[in-house]
Structure 1
Amino acid sequence: MSERRQERRGLGRGLSALMADVEVDQTTQTERRAEATIPIERIHPNPNQPRQTFVSESLEELSASIATKGIIQPLILRNHPTKEGEYEIVAGERRWRAAQMAQVHEVPAIVRSLDDTEVLEVAIIENIQRSDLNAVDEASGYRQLMDRFGHTQEQMAVALGKSRSHIANTLRLLSLPPGVQGYLAEGKLTAGHARALITAEDPEALARQIISRNLSVREAENLAKGPKPTRSRRSSGKSEKDADTLALESDLAANLGMKVSVDHNTESGAGQVTISYKSLEDLDNLCQLLSERRD
């Protein structure tokens, strides 16, 4: 935990400043002016790039575009940490690979002075902005920005142009079992289907039903709710949770990375908050978070 604190304090630039160096989409972003033209053989990929998979078909399409129109968005580079006169990619490895396929010898670039931590941060941000990113990888990117760099949901919403509710709801997907996350990453479930399973008792079994029966999101929500209770709950003072309570549960779960239940008694005004952890490490992290807030 002490290393994480040091990493957060070591950041020299804010999220919005780093966002200025990341393209959103080469086909929709307005053209930016390059500061230099760099020979492609003097550029090296970032060995710590979070994105390790580049789809061949997508690269071929981009390569064909570069061959006819050139590179619209310049690469973001930094001086190579060990090789004099050479550069390391901060953002734009996909364009660099496509340019090689198109046999382009020089690429437009903007050179920035960034440390290793900031390079990783920009790489995560760039991945989040990919149009073909699945919801699980998107959620993992948000979680990394929060855990490793201390960014809040509000900061990410402003800098990334997303709503806070979108970020909170996406983060909730990480509370699902690995099997359900796998279905979501493979495209067998949509994010809407997956969100319906978050509070279910056996989300993985329900996920298999949704896939096999090809259910809509609304049908998945009804399946996850199960049969309606027949007995009255009036005597206990409890009622079905309203939208505000559900939103509060979602926000707390997204911030803590754990399942949270808020049970409120409408008659007495009292209630309880239940936090469920899956491991001793989760419990330790929770205790650490509570200690930080108290300090």
Structure 2
Amino acid sequence: MAERKRGMGRGLAAILPESGAGGPELRELLISQIEPNPDQPRKHFEKGPLQALAGSIASAGVLQPLIVRPVDGDDGRFEIVAGERRWRAAQEAGLERVPAVIRSSPSDERLQAALIENMVREDLNPVEEARACAALVDDLGISKEELARRVGRSRAAISNLVRLLDLPDDVQSLLEKGELSEGHGRAILQVDDQGKRSRLGKTAASEGWSVRELEGKTRGTSGGRSKRAPSKGGRISAEEKAAMADAEDALGEALGADVRVRKAGQGLRAEIHAEDMEELLALARRLK
């Protein structure tokens, strides 16, 4: 628990520009002091994911603070700028207080602009970019297509960034410190088990593995996504591995999605990863 608390004062507070002489203020607020933004684009929160988040919060607490602003004319009340899903899940988990960054920004549009402006800065690490993407998509209701357009990236690139937040905290820390790259993070995500992800990340950083070397290790890890028996054709040659990696890159660029090419019996299989049903349906429409 102590290790994970490093995120309490980070997240959005670390990448947004300072406001005023003292900058944003991090406080613990009563849930009853906080109210949702009536203009929040997202009105429906699916029950299943909300309950899953509530379970996580019940065991580990709220790891990323909400962003709130004072309610005009109502001292002691705050309106959510970002983090309504975490606020609802915290209520479901029975918490009385949540961490919140208090800002005086008058509109969501200004916060969106600040986050997007910071995303195109050259000094952000991949985890900070991922947090900004998650806030814009999950909390402020910007679609991934719109965000991709505004920052000059593909939708797949945005999805891949957000997925980095699924990595264990110690691996995220390695990305923050520059010991691993975003490509390393994506490769580690091909392994399902969090413990194995941590071990792979630490070893990759200490041994100085390239992304391709790490991808080779994840394909040979029992906890990886590909759990089929070795093909009848035997081991994959270095030339075949390179060709498969090139095919992944080309397909991913053409489809705007995360694509993995696997050996399957006497042939090959291309697996397309979609972050959610919306992304899968958008991909299906592009393929028509």
Larger Rg: 1
Same fold (TM over 0.5): no
Compute the TM-score of the two structures, normalised by the length of structure 2. 0.44
Question: Normalized against structure 1, the TM-score is what?
Answer: 0.43
